[in-house]
Amino acid sequence: MAMFRQCPDSGLFFHKSAESLMKAHAVLGVVYLLIGGVLGLLVALTRMPSLHVLNAEDFYLALSIHGTAILIFWIIFFEMAVLYFAASTLLRCRPATPGIGWIGFLLMVIGSTLVMVAFFRGNSSVMFTSYVPMPAEPIFYLGLILFAVGALIGCFIFLGTLVIAKKENTYDGSIPLVTFGALTATVIAIFTIASGAVILIPTLLWSLGFINHIDPLMYRTIWWALGHSSQQINVSAHVAIWYAIAAIIFGAKPMSEKVSRTAFLLYILFLQLASAHHILADPGVSSTWKVFNTSYAMYLAVLASMIHGLTVPGCIEIAQRKKGFNNGLFEWLQKAPWANPVFSGMFISLIIFGFIGGITGVVMGTEQINLIIHNTIFVPGHFHATVAVGTTLAFMAITYFLIPVLFRRQLIWPNACKWQPYIFGGGMLILSLLLLGAGTLGVPRRHWDINFSDAALQFQYAGTAITMMGIAGLGGLMAAVGGAMFCLIAVGSLVFGKRLDPGASLFSSFGFPMAASCYNIERPGKLELAPIEQTGDSGVQAKGTFVLALVFLASFVVYFFINAKYLSSIWPMG
């Protein structure tokens, strides 16, 4: 029975069941992006000292929903879509047990809905971290557990699909690099979800009264194996998307698959250990544990990110130079399709993730320097550069590719599509930089009112810090406009976009299969290996990328030195 269709524009093959699962997960992801984005705007406007729009209770409710909806639900729903795409579509293979895939999806929907209900009932404003002994309603923990089980099912279906592809011989050689990146995300997801189960199941029992006490430090340590590692799933997934977009837009081939795969292996081994940087100010664990996990081991994961940060633009440069863009160091970049949101979104994601998110992540992962910025708003400044720009913008960029290819709808509002990555990325850049600055001046995170207007003991932050928080709010507003544009374009295209295939009905935009006549291929041809090319001189060919890498390293050294100098001035020795 014919179950595959081939996209006439991209040549990609989509299996009927996998396609529906991809669509359903991606659409739910965008729903949570919208919810989290609206609440994020309210948080940003409240933290603007001049506006301060929400009262304290509503602020912590909004912050809890914003963090959970974006950092968990939007990201993981979309990542599940990426896993089905990377396994079934890229390997030209039927998905393993699609029926169980729908059960997993249903558990994720029920779980995330329970968490939202718990939030809106008003008794679970425990924020994304939900530290004990601060209690939430039992349905909050139950919802997270159900969501995690659903996601875990998706991970095992991904692995099962790899087994089927191997057994049915749908590809030659090794799995493609993009699929390998998705496999890396899956491995990290399995560790992350298992850690979540280890700590959230006892916490659920505690909230029901079956357990009297949960040690806060034990909770924090294990919880961060969930909380931070979940963001490492994002890193692996968005790096895989960078490689995919480089191949889609430019036909670029990795400079060295061996090196890129080894870098993903470093992620598998070491990336999750960076969770320890959240515990750097806690007294209960030794410096040896802290330094090993956040420095020695984490630096190997940082090395992997720097490899990807070099090889993705490097392979684009080589592809562009082959097309004749050979003048100077940067003609290849200048002549890149900056009006195409698939490229611009990906490249902005790569640059801001590396220069802002990457450098600040390493700096705050250093035990001594961490003391300057621990629990300040520097930390949200860092993760808005990594997750909001690095991951979210990469996911937005691939969505512009998937709407015509997967959903078979033409994008509406081409001019808005062109500008959206710049507005969202620009707003997030302003927000991140200003939060990093204010955090360095000591402004705390998760704080409703840094003016302490009702406090018995007054404290006044430097005027510069107050100004920075105000400008950061404007950046948040600009990013919210960019995020709203994306949601309108995505949903508008699915509903009103011109059909590129007569079988693409309104229902098929939201997870139902397209008309039966669309699926006319029983088994796609085998995925063949491309001819092997001599790539030994790639490093020499990518001169512009090499210069960008030197600028990155110089920025890294200067920023590290500034922070070390700042530490010496506020913590004099001797």
Partner 1 sequence: MQRNDNQSATQGDEPIPPMQQLLDNPFMLVFIGVLFPTVFYILWGIMEIISIPAVK
Complex with partner 1: residue 320 or 420, whichever CB lies closer: 320
Per CB under 8 A, the segment of 13-21, 388-396, 498-506, 531-539 that binds partner 1 is 531-539
Q: What is the DSSP string of 539-554?
A: HHH-HHHHHHHHHHHH
CB 352 within 8 Å of CB 432: yes
Pick from 201, 208, 218, 495 the residue near partner 1 by CB under 8 A: 218
CB 510 within 8 Å of CB 23: yes
Complex with partner 1: residue 69 or 83, whichever CB lies closer: 83
Closest by CA to 226, choosing from 147, 154, 134, is 147
527 binds partner 1 (CB under 8 A): yes
58 binds partner 1 (CB under 8 A): no
Pick from 28, 39, 183, 494 the residue near partner 1 by CB under 8 A: 183
In this structure, the strands spanning 4-6 and 13-15 are antiparallel
DSSP H helices, 271-296, are 287-291
Complex with partner 1: residue 300 or 329, whichever CB lies closer: 300
Complex with partner 1: residue 18 or 247, whichever CB lies closer: 247
The amino acid occupying position 91 is: L
Cα(195)–Cα(198) distance, rounded to whole angstroms? 5
191 binds partner 1 (CB under 8 A): yes
Closest by CA to 183, choosing from 261, 100, 78, is 261
Complex with partner 1: residue 34 or 185, whichever CB lies closer: 185
Tokens of 79: 């990542």
Q: How far is the CB of 217 from partner 1 (least distance, A)?
A: 6
- Taking CB under 8 A as the criterion, which residues in 132-171 touch partner 1? 159, 162
With residue 151 as reference, give the H or E element that holds it: helix 138-167
List CB contacts of 144: < 8 A, sequence separation 6 or more: 72, 111, 115, 196, 200
- Taking CB under 8 A as the criterion, which residues in 300-359 touch partner 1? none
121 binds partner 1 (CB under 8 A): no
528 binds partner 1 (CB under 8 A): yes
423 binds partner 1 (CB under 8 A): no
**8-state DSSP, 271:** G
Pick from 292, 299, 338, 566 the residue near partner 1 by CB under 8 A: 292
Q: What is the DSSP string of 87-147?
A: IIITTT-PPS-HHHHHHHHHHHHHHHHHHHHHHHTTS---TTT--TTS---HHHHHHHHHH
- Taking CB under 8 A as the criterion, which residues in 227-246 touch partner 1? 229, 244
Complex with partner 1: residue 244 or 394, whichever CB lies closer: 244
Closest by CA to 114, choosing from 130, 79, 138, is 138
279 binds partner 1 (CB under 8 A): yes
Q: How far is the CB of 288 from partner 1 (least distance, A)?
A: 9
Pick from 120, 172, 498, 568 the residue near partner 1 by CB under 8 A: 172
Chain positions contacting partner 1, by CB under 8 A: 12, 90, 159, 162, 172-176, 178, 180, 183-184, 186-188, 190-191, 194-195, 198, 215, 217-218, 221-222, 225, 229, 244, 247-248, 251, 253-254, 256-258, 261-262, 265, 268-270, 272-273, 275-276, 279, 284-286, 289, 292-293, 297, 527-530, 532-533, 535
